[in-house]
Structure 1
């Protein structure tokens, strides 16, 4: 396996990881900003007020986007496993 193939495979893996993690991270970021703004406006400093909505948002996004995420990861792993014989040369 030459260094170029390793770098290409690593780049594809990082891109797939970023693409799969983006919906959950984006939803948690937006909910966190909204909750922080709410806490700043009302001066309520409760730790669970920040944690619970983020957790619920992450679960909701995983329920909605989960099948796509799983399909994307399975397709990437399938491509890598099918390409292994060509890398062994």
Structure 2
């Protein structure tokens, strides 16, 4: 059997969708694949939630901010003065 004839056993004639043979072949792995998917979503969700909570805890109130940056003029004060 060559690769193309073996492939015909598992695909539809029109080339899309799963044949009943392919459905039966994949069935034993369905539960394990769903558990793996759930584990990956849980891990990525946990990393995302942890990083969001860690960022929210940062307090930058003790960092002094310069009143003006060199080479940058404050457009908001100019706009307020015109009104």
TM-score by length of 1: 0.39
Bigger relative contact order (CA 8 A; separation at least 6): 1
Higher helix share: 1
TM superposition score normalised by structure 2:
0.41
